[in-house]
Each structure stands twice: as structure tokens, then as C-alpha cells.
Amino acid sequence: MAKWPFPKWPRAASAPYRSDRGSATVWSVGVIAVLCAVFGTVLALGQAVTVRHRAAGGADLAALAAADRWADGPGAACARAERVARAQGARLVRCALTGEISDVTAASGRGLFEAEVRARAGPAAATPSPPRSAAPRAPPAAAR
């Protein structure tokens, strides 16, 4: 039987430096672990943003619904706000009516990813219009 034509690798005991064999595997495992941690963090932040947006949308629409029903009384207005918030995937935490203005707090999510958002709705404040001049203005004279 013929011997293998290439010499064997020198043994670690006979080499002055230790072998680097297998170090790429260790580096690969480390890089994969870091990438998994970054990916998990990005997913958690995305979940937090989604919960916050769901709570904000539920609060905004619930406040608008309560302000729309202010004439029916606070009980009916807040019941309507509760139904709208639930339809948006949020829960109504607080509902108050002051005249035609509704003040609503809605929450979404559970545990670590929970968000509460406050929203107000009501009629727009009357803004005074600028006074109109009695006579129309003449166009500026052309430069000569």
C-alpha cells in the first residue's frame, strides 16, 4: 500500500504556535449570536411602535366619537367612545366631557409593551377673520 504523497500537518506540540483550526467556527457562532440579538431588538422596537400607534388611533377616534355624541349626555358619549376604542384594538381608560369637548385616554398592549395615549376633541375655536377694507386696493404703480 502506497503512502499518502503529502506530509501530515505538524502536531500542535511540535509547532511553536497553536493551530488556528476551528477559529472560523467560533467567529461565525459569535457573529450569528450578535445578529440574532440585533434582530430581536428590532422586532421588539417594532412591536412597541405598533402598540403605541394602535393606542393613539383608538384614542383619537374615541375622542371624536365622544365629541360627536356630546348632546346625548356623558354616559352615551363615553359608551360610544368605548365601542369605537374596542373596535380599534384599544381599551378606554378614561372618558370625560366638558361641554362639547371630550377628553379620552386609551391604552393598548399588555405587560412590557403597553401604551396609554390621551386625546381631546371638540369644535374648532372661532378664529377672527381679518378685517376687509371697504375699497379695493389699487395695483402698485409700474416702475418708470
Encode the chain (144 residues) as per-residue pLDDT tens digits. Answer: 566 666 666 555 555 556 777 788 899 999 999 999 999 999 999 999 999 999 999 999 999 999 999 889 999 999 999 999 999 999 999 999 988 899 999 999 888 889 999 999 988 775 555 666 555 566 666 655
Q: What is the spatial distance between Cα 58 and Cα 119, in angstroms, rounded to a whole number?
A: 9
Instruction: Render the burial of 80-92: b for 16+ CB within 10 Å, e for the rest.
Output: bbbebbeebebbb
The answer to whether residues 92 and 62 touch, using CB atoms and an 8 Å cutoff, is yes
Q: Provide the whole-model pTM.
A: 0.65
> Could you tell me the fold of the domain covering 27-121?
Pantoate--beta-alanine Ligase; Chain: A,domain 2 (3.30.1300)
Q: DSSP state, 112? A: T
